[in-house]
Amino acid sequence: MSATSGYFVVGTSWLHHRHPLTKLLGLGFVLLATFLLPSITLVLLVIALAGIAASAGLAARLARAMRIPAVLLASILVVNAFFYPGATDRLLELGPLAVSREGLTFGTISAGRVLVAFIASVLFLFTTLADDLLEALVARGASHRIAFVILSAVQLVPRMQLRAASILDAQQARGLAIEGSFGRRIRALVPLIGPVLLGSLIDVRERTFALEARGFGARPGRTAYRQVVDPPSDRWLRPVLVLGCIAVIVAAVTGLGRG
Amino acid sequence: MTETTTRGIAPIAALRLAGLSVRYPGQRSPSLDSVDLEVQAGELVGVSGRTGAGKSTLALAAGGFLPRVVRATVTGSAAVGGIDATSLDPRALLGHVGIVFATPANQLSASKQTVREELAFGLENLGVDRADMDGRISTVLVRLGIANLADREPLTLSGGEQQRVAIASIVVMGTSLLVLDEPTAQLDPVGAADVGALLAELARGGTAVLVVEHDPTILGQTSRMVLLESAKAVGSGEPGYVLGSRVAGLYGLPAPTLVRLAELAEMDPALAFDEAAIVANLSSHGPRLAPGAEPSLSIGAWEAARDRPVPVAQVQELAHRYPNGVEALRGVSLRFAPGEAAVILGQNGSGKTTLAKHLNGLLRPDRGDVQFDGVSTRNLRVDELSATVGFVFQNPDDQLFERTVEREVSFGPRNLGWNAATVRQLVERALDAVGLSAVGGTNPYDLDLSRRKLVSLASVLAMNPSILVLDEPTTGQDPVGTERVGAVVRGMRDAGRTVIAITHNMEFAAAHFDRVILMREGIVIADGPPSELLSAPNQALLASTGLTPPPAARIASALGLTLVPRTAAGLIEALTARR
């Protein structure tokens, strides 16, 4: 992962070529549908997203990224299957524990929703440069200052990851043991978190000076060097997605959205 | 605030400070005290002085940051191109002055995909028309010799390249005054030389350049410089004069090698950085003055409680490949005996730090082994090895977290489980060795970078290591701090400990170490005493890994001396003996 481009995967697929706002609306549509429409929709969404990933040449990347939510998804399923409150229909008895039909159903739906939300978000991050999103938002009236602050915060994550690794090395070299009892591990956090925060503050001071020196936010009428391409197809795709979002909300409000 | 300009009589100075004083909130004494300075268009002017003398405050004032960005009480006047530099209006100086700081990565917006876009960032903020941007950017990229970087991602560039991009990002905004605060502090010799050449080129092109520096190779290129001491400007003139015994020497600052040689040859200070002139003078007249006793700092041989036998460190056929496929070490074998002070030299990427990180177990060998008295490090944890091998990292801010210097320095020995009396004794000894006994109760982050580095050195010394590993210990140090680190190296060596350092500072390497190990592309290409390795026949070998011999060695080679002296005094002694 690059500190500049985050999770972006260089590519020329049809999904890469969509305007950032089109993809943002698409992501919004999928998230609304996931959480508001009947649960059967989840199956369709998973199939559709898998198809989108494959057609954009991102299937292998997506499969690798699935390691991130794997534990969360499994735990949602297992905890609900065994401990769903008020469940009566026992499918399988394992000593004092039992898998219930209600728990298994609820766990599967909940895990499915998280799965869809994760896949959609990852596909957005894989194919959208944060800088393009920033310019697209600013071009539509968003505050450049606020958009830049949000972008910087997102880009801070990989920088802090690199920094944390260096700090771990430096403190271990001074005899800090990071293995052992729970209490010992908790105590080991102070020498690790301290330099991450203090070092970041020093960085922020220097970076603030550097931005000041380059006139950031000093005057209105900022121009933009980076040009974000907005293909003709996106100009009709975005209204369609907006209508889709409205339709999902209407369906949910009128009672069609109980899953 | 009064603004003084001399319209109609002389050109308006690019920078004019008159009686400028600065006091930060909560500080008893001023950080700048009645400083006068003028920089004209096309001038390259240097500012130097020991850490804490007020250099960075001067740079911030010249850059228009005081009191608008950094709160301070400012009296006297500061003007950039005739415009009040203490104005609170962020637009007042926009496009007139730019400032560049020490850490290359922090100078960049960190959000741009290419160098070209990075340069456009300032133009966007100025509201420059999109159609004009490409032309302006291309012109500056070509002028500053970095057109080849145009489409590279800024954060993947080397430190030297990033710093040149940072300078270009200011220049493209059309600034008439460029201020730099230690721009080469974190660069290797090649990067520093590139930045130095760039500044000279900018000045030739009409830009006024004010550079705060310690590096003699940069200061030597300035047309004149100012020395700050305790917030006051105590001397100004040609760099050969200001850095010599008649100005800097009065304040305990050691002179750069070339300046000292020029003085010993009784040459005009204006020629102090002209190596050819020094060689010609010494070869025709010889040294006119005896060097006398070199002012040298000593901490004595390191003695501390809990002394243990120092093991022999053995690196055998060591190979390491990083997960991204880079083969950083390709079969390195070395032996370090107790009482040895060895320095590892080589350009960035030659495998120096990877080798050092194997010595304390931070990295594990893919092939080969690292052993201490025959015991392999493979099965030892980093914290277990830390009792034997002390590792001082390049960036002190990666480890400082305690609320006082004393507590910070006691962190390591406390981790080793020693009793309070032993810890106290070691902390006192370590703080004394680095000259920070007086600031034991201070918060480390209230100290400047140079002294924070000394705190991190003390925090490892207090663990009483048998083997001390130093990664770039002189970056960000003033000449006094560098001497202090050298004294620690010699003190540890004299006590029979092993010292292994990685550095780009050739003068430091030559002056304080007995063994030089040259690395290139993951292998050792030469290993021997500095007097042999840094000699003229090896110049091509040194150049093959991005190094140049230190100044005393260059002059000695040009004068036909076979053995390379460590310092200016050593060179003069060798010349006197030859005559």
User: From CA B150, how far away is CA A78, in angstroms rounded?
Assistant: 53
The residues, ordered by sequence, that sit 6+ positions from A64 with a Cβ below 8 Å of its Cβ are none
pLDDT over 70 (residue A1)? no
Q: Centre a 10 Å sphere on the Cβ of residue A161 and count the other Cβ atoms it contains.
A: 12
Banded pLDDT at B10 (limits 50, 70, 90): low
Same structural domain for residues A147 and A106? Answer: no
A128 touches chain B (CB under 8 A): no
Where do the DSSP E strands lie in B474-547?
498-502, 515-520, 523-528
Distance in Å, alpha carbon of A11 to nearest chain B alpha carbon: 14
Same structural domain for residues A92 and A186? Answer: no
pLDDT over 60 (residue B7)? no
Q: Centre a 10 Å sphere on the Cβ of residue B148 and count the other Cβ atoms it contains.
A: 10
Task: Kindly state whether residue A134 falls inside one of the protein's structural domains.
Answer: no
β-partners of residue B389 are: B467
| Tokens 């001067």, located at residue | B58
Beta carbons of B173 and A191 less than 8 Å apart: no
Burial A103-119 (b: 16+ CB within 10 A, else e): bbbbbbbbbbbebbbbb
Half-sphere exposure (Cβ direction) of B158: Cα atoms closer than 13 Å? 15
Mean local confidence (pLDDT), B29-33: 93
Closest CA to B84 of B75, B96, B92: B92
Burial class, A182, CB count within 10 angstroms (exposed 0-12 / middle 13-18 / buried 19+)? exposed
Same structural domain for residues A245 and A189? Answer: no
Q: Which of A5-19, B101-115, B141-155 has the lowest mean pLDDT?
A: B101-115
A window 22-81, beta carbon within 8 A of B = none
Task: Kindly state whether residue A221 falls inside one of the protein's structural domains.
Answer: no
A157 touches chain B (CB under 8 A): no
A146 touches chain B (CB under 8 A): no
pLDDT over 60 (residue B295)? no
Beta carbons of A206 and B103 less than 8 Å apart: yes
pLDDT over 50 (residue B6)? no
Same structural domain for residues A243 and A118? Answer: yes
Same structural domain for residues A65 and A17? Answer: yes
Instruction: Report chain B residues whose CB lies below 8 A from the CB of A166.
Output: 393, 395, 398
Distance in Å, alpha carbon of A9 to nearest chain B alpha carbon: 13
| Tokens 């499969």, located at residue | A63
The domain in which residue A76 lies consists of: 6-128+231-259
Mean local confidence (pLDDT), A156-179: 82
B125 touches chain A (CB under 8 A): yes
Whether omega for the bond prior to residue B67 falls within 30 degrees of 0, making it cis, is: yes
Strand duo B523-528 + B515-520: pairing: antiparallel
Q: Evaluate whether A242 touches A25 at the Cβ level (below 8 Å).
A: yes
pLDDT over 80 (residue B506)? yes
Task: Kindly state whether residue A197 falls inside one of the protein's structural domains.
Answer: yes
Whether omega for the bond prior to residue B338 falls within 30 degrees of 0, making it cis, is: no
A155 touches chain B (CB under 8 A): yes
Beta carbons of B460 and A190 less than 8 Å apart: no
Mean local confidence (pLDDT), B521-550: 86
What pLDDT is recorded for position B291? 66
pLDDT over 80 (residue B5)? no
Same structural domain for residues A69 and A119? Answer: yes
Beta carbons of B129 and A202 less than 8 Å apart: no
pLDDT over 60 (residue B271)? yes
User: From CA B104, how far away is CA B155, in angstroms rounded?
Assistant: 9
B360 touches chain A (CB under 8 A): yes
User: From CA B432, how far away is CA B410, in angstroms rounded?
Assistant: 14
Sheet holding B341-345, edge to edge: B389-392, B467-471, B498-502, B341-345, B515-520, B523-528
Task: Kindly state whether residue A135 falls inside one of the protein's structural domains.
Answer: no
Same structural domain for residues A98 and A158? Answer: no
Instruction: Report chain A residues whose CB lies below 8 A from the CB of B400.
Output: 194-195, 198
B447: its two tokens: 């100290």
B292: its two tokens: 């006398």
Same structural domain for residues A76 and A166? Answer: no
Q: Helices B130-143 & B159-171, crossing angle to 10 degrees?
A: 130
What pLDDT is recorded for position B4? 43
Distance in Å, alpha carbon of B141 to nearest chain A alpha carbon: 16
The residues, ordered by sequence, that sit 6+ positions from B248 with a Cβ below 8 Å of its Cβ are B48, B227, B235, B242, B255
Closest CB to A4: pick one of B111, B133, B386.
Answer: B111
pLDDT over 70 (residue B211)? yes
Instruction: Report chain B residues whose CB lies below 8 A from the CB of A172.
Output: 362, 381-383, 386
Chain A, chain B: beta-carbon pairs less than 8 Å apart: 180
Kindly report the average pLDDT of chain B as a whole number.
Answer: 88
Banded pLDDT at A202 (limits 50, 70, 90): confident
**Percent of chain B scoring above 70 in pLDDT:** 96
Same structural domain for residues A25 and A114? Answer: yes
Q: Centre a 10 Å sphere on the Cβ of residue B557 and count the other Cβ atoms it contains.
A: 19
pLDDT over 50 (residue A42)? yes
Instruction: Report chain A residues whose CB lies below 8 A from the CB of B170.
Output: 213-214
User: From CA A191, how far away is CA B54, in angstroms rounded?
Assistant: 31
A164 touches chain B (CB under 8 A): no
What pLDDT is recorded for position B423? 93
Q: Evaluate whether B99 touches B63 at the Cβ level (below 8 Å).
A: yes
Where do the DSSP E strands lie in B94-139?
97-100
Closest CA to B181 of B17, B53, B13, B12: B53
Mean local confidence (pLDDT), A28-41: 92
Instruction: Report chain B residues whose CB lies below 8 A from the CB of A213.
Output: 63, 98-100, 170
Rg (CA), chain B: 25
Instruction: Report chain B residues whose CB lies below 8 A from the CB of A212.
Output: 65, 69, 90
Report which secondary-structure segment, H or E, holds B486. helix B479-494
Mean local confidence (pLDDT), B504-532: 91
User: From CA A109, how far away is CA B218, in angstroms rounded?
Assistant: 66
Instruction: Report chain A residues whose CB lies below 8 A from the CB of B113.
Output: 4-5, 129, 131
Count of residues for chain B?
579
Task: Kindly state whether residue A107 falls inside one of the protein's structural domains.
Answer: yes
pLDDT over 50 (residue A170)? yes
pLDDT digits (tens, 9 = 90+) for B167-183: 899 989 989 999 999 88
Mean local confidence (pLDDT), B30-35: 94
φ and ψ at residue A184, rounded to 5 degrees: -65, -40
SS3 B375: strand
| Prediction ipTM score | 0.77
φ and ψ at residue B510, rounded to 5 degrees: -70, -35
Same structural domain for residues A246 and A209? Answer: no
B98 touches chain A (CB under 8 A): yes
Task: Kindly state whether residue A222 falls inside one of the protein's structural domains.
Answer: no
Hey, CA dihedral for A92, A93, A99, A101, is it positive or negative?
Answer: positive
Q: Checking phi first, is residue B50 left (phi over 0); if not, alpha (psi -120 to 50) or beta?
A: beta
Instruction: Report chain B residues whose CB lies below 8 A from the CB of A224.
Output: 124, 130
∠B392-B396-B398 over CA atoms, to 5°? Answer: 100
Question: Highest-confidence range of B105-114, B447-456, B514-523, B553-562, by mean pLDDT?
Answer: B514-523
Task: Kindly state whether residue A1 falls inside one of the protein's structural domains.
Answer: no
Same structural domain for residues A20 and A112? Answer: yes
Q: Which of A11-20, A233-242, B103-112, B252-261 has the lowest mean pLDDT?
A: B103-112
CA–CA distance from B385 to each of B267, B333, B349, B375, B492 (Å)? Answer: 52, 20, 25, 11, 19
User: From CA A124, how far away is CA B296, in angstroms rounded?
Assistant: 62
A145 touches chain B (CB under 8 A): no
Q: How many distinct structural domains can be found in chain A?
A: 2
SS3 B408: helix
Residue type, B147: A
Report which secondary-structure segment, H or E, holds B224. strand B224-229
Q: Which of A111-120, B128-137, B331-340, B547-556 has the lowest mean pLDDT?
A: B547-556
Same structural domain for residues A37 and A92? Answer: yes
Task: Kindly state whether residue A224 falls inside one of the protein's structural domains.
Answer: no
